[in-house]
Amino acid sequence: MFFSEIHERIRFVFLICIFILIAIIIKVFYIQVFTYEKLNNLAESLWSRELPIKADRGLIVDRNGEALASNITTVSLVVVPGQIKDPERVAKDLSDILNSDYKDMLAHVTKSTSIERVHPEGRRLDFEVAEKINNLKYDGVYLLKESKRYYPYETVLSHVLGYVGIDNQGLSGIELYYDDYLTGADGAIKYFSDGKGNKLELTEIYEAPTPGVTLSLTIDMRLQMAVENELDNVVSKYSPEQALIMAMNPKTGEILAMASRPNFNNNEYQKYSNEVINRNLPIWMTYEPGSTFKIITLSAALEEKTINLFEDTFHDSGAIEVDGAVIHCWKHGGHGSQKMIEVVENSCNPGFVKIGQTLGTDKLMSYINNYGFGNKTGVDLNGESSGILFKPENMGPVELATTSFGQGISVTPLQQIRAVSAAINGGKLYTPHIVGSFQESETGSIIKKVEPNIEKQVISEETSKLVRHALESVVANGSGKNAYIENYRVGGKTGTAQKVKDGKYMDGNYILSFIGFLPADDPEVIVYVAVDNPKGVTQYGGVVSAPIAKSVLTSAIDILDIEPSKEGMPREYTWLDIKYLKLPNVVGMTKDEAKKTLQGFKIEYSGAGDKVIYQTPNADFYAPEGETIKLLLG
């Protein structure tokens, strides 16, 4: 009995041991088969470390592949505190080389972390500094590749391109709008260390970074440089408060050039105020467009057939009264009896009031809305404004009258050039865009191409043809004469808009503009120029902005290979009762010689000396007989 109980106990213990052994085997099997990957990752995280390698940001190039934003390879300092054997000595040597605070550096090299990036003094080091650090040969001190954004043209296209922060993140312009595309995937060097952070003699793993996508813009740098040069000349000659020029393909909505002043150097954006670096004037600035807006009113009236350009007449006495308000024409005494085509040529405000009245508030505002005014255009740039329109319920007879000739409303330059493009391209309103395609960074193969997007048909092709004819006549016979190019068909419209401050119009302070295109019968390029309060010159869009637009259009002829034509309108050298004379070049002449040469003009002198060193308006442009020519003596 006694031995029987002992055997029972032995068998029980044996069974318990067998059960425990089976349980252990099952547990080991479960760990090895089902949880191996999880446990292995946990274990690896304890002894695996990574030294990050930053990816290059995607390039930005123009439509011909010219690099506008690229990268410079630099190095940055990273420390692994667990591998540093003498923190005080390392901190002292590094702080001496970097000219930084010793205590701050000591905090970096003793920080309780696996990897510490020394920021900001250790970022993007010069070659000489990096070489000094490398020569120290300290354990736990690493120099890692990093790229720095570089803009080879510096101030050119500055607002469009934008800029990036210290970590290569887009902060403005295309850099911000397409940041997700431009940002690449970082790589790393993986190594292994023990629990104390000491590096183990195991094979390192290199994971290569992947650069971001290359953006190919619709910008043509040849035309962009022509625009930039003209703006530099504008600033030098007229000292304006602001100035801008845009060029677009009216058949696609592709932006070919865009620039404004003041501008900035993207490589050194920290040196400029936020007002300069974050205001892309062609899409941000809003102001009363003035007479360039008359194109919209004209196209609406022609589409609705409320006027006939060649048969209807309007008598301009110099002013028109609307609901007790008197609206004056720019020409004292008016233009007298004129055909509607002459109303357009003469940019006659009372005549356009009449055109607006034939449409009525609802019709005019419906066309203005259809042209996209009052809303963002959808351009692929950040910081776009919407402009301001009258609410229909707040529009009386006076508001209808002023809107008809571009006063009392507010638009952006991009809205204006897009709308006029629709008026002359057959009536199609395009979404403007500045990125033409997305390309694979290594091979340059196209990932995606941006196709032109037609939002709506605003007017008919027949009406658009009439608008083109009228605007070609403005350049040949009217206020846009200074944009005329011999043997080429140019259309356009001047604008002289009085600026508003605190709800009141400012005396002698205007935004002078001109919008022009060619060829007038089949436009390939449209240019918009706006100069804010130029100094020392007659304040008319036809005097200041039209010659600038002519220069840009002349450059576009060669760049876009536009053929000459003998079908255009010949330029008339008298405008109604005003005789226009071609200005001679008197720069370099003495004061007396210039006076004899400029017979028929008034002369205003400034500066000291007897020799003419500058004249305005420029030589070879046409000016009304009796116009004041300003000469700078030196």
Give 340's strand partners: none
Strands 214-217, 60-61: pairing kind: parallel
The answer, yes or no, to whether the previous bond of 432 is cis (omega within 30 of 0) is: no
Residue 408: count of CB within 10 angstroms of its CB? 18
Polymer length in residues for the chain:
634
Which phi and psi (to 5°) does residue 411 adopt?
-135, 165
Q: What is the SS3 string spanning 54-84?
A: CCCCCCEECCCCCEEEEEEEEEEEEECHHHC
H/E segment holding residue 221: helix 221-238
493 token code pair: 């419209």
In the set 158, 193, 216, 291, the catalytic residue is: 291
Core vs surface per residue 276-308: b (16+ CB within 10 A) or e: ebbbbbbbbbbbbbbbbbbbbbbbbbbbbebbe
The radius of gyration computed from the CA coordinates of the chain, to the nearest angstrom, equals 35
C-alpha angle with apex 285: 281 to 289, nearest 5 degrees? 115
C-alpha angle with apex 514: 511 to 520, nearest 5 degrees? 170
Q: Which residue has the tokens 């060029």?
A: 247
CB 262 within 8 A of CB 486: no
Q: What whole-number distance in Å separates Cα of residue 255 and Cα of residue 247?
A: 6
Residues 6+ apart with CB under 8 A from 462: none
- Phi/psi region, residue 534 (left: phi>0; alpha: psi -120 to 50; beta: rest), is beta
CB 543 within 8 A of CB 253: no
CB 136 within 8 A of CB 96: no
371 token code pair: 């042209």
Q: What whole-number distance in Å separates Cα of residue 333 and Cα of residue 339?
A: 17
Give 558's strand partners: none
> Is 193 known to be catalytic?
no
Taking CA atoms, 508 is separated from 358, 412, 500, 539, 540, in Å, by 32, 22, 11, 8, 11
Which phi and psi (to 5°) does residue 11 adopt?
-65, -40
Q: What whole-number distance in Å separates Cα of residue 272 and Cα of residue 263?
A: 9
Strands 141-150, 578-582: pairing kind: unpaired
C-alpha angle with apex 267: 414 to 220, nearest 5 degrees? 40
- Phi/psi region, residue 551 (left: phi>0; alpha: psi -120 to 50; beta: rest), is alpha
Query: Whose CA is closest to 417, among 230, 248, 261, 231?
Result: 248
CA 408 to chain centre: 26
CA 346 to chain centre: 33
Q: Which residues are catalytic?
A: 291
